[in-house]
Amino acid sequence: MAENGFLDRRDAGRRLAEALRSYPDCQDPLVLALPRGGVPVAYEVAQALDAELDLLLVRKLGTPGQPELAMGAIASGGIEVLNPSVVEALGIDRETIDRVAEQEYAELLRRERAYRGTRPLPRIEGRCVILVDDGLATGSTMRAAVAAVRQRNPQRIVVAVPVAPPDTAERLRQEVDDVVVLLTPAYFAAVGQWYADFSQTTDEEVRALLQAAWNRKSTAKGEQDS
């Protein structure tokens, strides 16, 4: 494990939850995870805060030939956010962006059906929304998530992640009410370098964690109503 890093995503989520426990002015919190890697982190946060957990589907738009390099991202609701510095530096045209976006939107819809089924979307209006991922690099996917949430009139938007480069965290602070990040290393190559175990989160794990969170909230509501 990298020095001062995390054992795995669940460990990162527990540590992030500690930083959020005393977070001020966050009534009726809704924790939205960016799948797939953000779900184990967000599950721990939601448990610790006794908050509702749900998903916000976002897909990175990888550059041709360098899929890990984000030229932008899309989110549910037709939201698109581009990374102008990457688009301009590589001379990527609109046709290429549209082609990649169409492919990623198909995967976004597949995951939405696979993870949510027919479950209705959570209420966002008037709530404190905490957006959680396992870490940020360029921040493109998180910026798309922020844009999607803002369209639905939340009371407050908080971005909470275990690790991010300082410049990415600073840019996001200009777009949301607050950013909570545990590590902002000056040398940052990839999110995975800060985890001992950064194995891929599976669809099955996502579904299991969501179901566990939804069952817990349903049980708690039933006890309150009885």
Q: Give the whole-number percent of the chain exceeding pLDDT 70.
A: 94
Amino acid identity at 113: R
String of DSSP letters for 72-137: EEEETTTEEEE-HHHHHHHT--HHHHHHHHHHHHHHHHHHHHHHHTTPPPPP-TTSEEEEE-S--S
Condensed to tens digits (0 to 9), the pLDDT of residues 112-143 reads: 888 988 888 889 999 999 999 999 998 988 99
CATH architecture of the domain covering 9-225: 3-Layer(aba) Sandwich (3.40)
Task: State the pLDDT at residue 225.
Answer: 54
Is the pLDDT confidence value at 149 over 70? yes
Domain ranges of the chain: 9-225
Is the pLDDT confidence value at 159 over 70? yes
Structure letter (DSSP) for residue 148: H
* pTM to 2 decimal places: 0.86
Which H/E stretch holds residue 179? strand 178-183
Condensed to tens digits (0 to 9), the pLDDT of residues 62-120 reads: 998 888 788 988 887 788 888 888 999 999 999 999 999 999 999 998 888 889 888 88
Task: State the pLDDT at residue 28.
Answer: 86
Contact 55, 42 (CB under 8 A): no
Q: Which two tokens stand for residue 126?
A: 């008037």
Condensed to tens digits (0 to 9), the pLDDT of residues 23-55 reads: 777 778 999 999 999 999 999 999 999 999 999
Confidence of residue 220 (pLDDT cuts 50, 70, 90): low
Gyration radius from the chain CA atoms? 17
Sequence-ordered list of residues with C-beta below 8 angstroms from that of 92, at least 6 positions apart, any chain: 63, 64, 71, 86
C-alpha 123/C-alpha 150 separation (Å) is 13
Over residues 147-151, mean pLDDT: 89
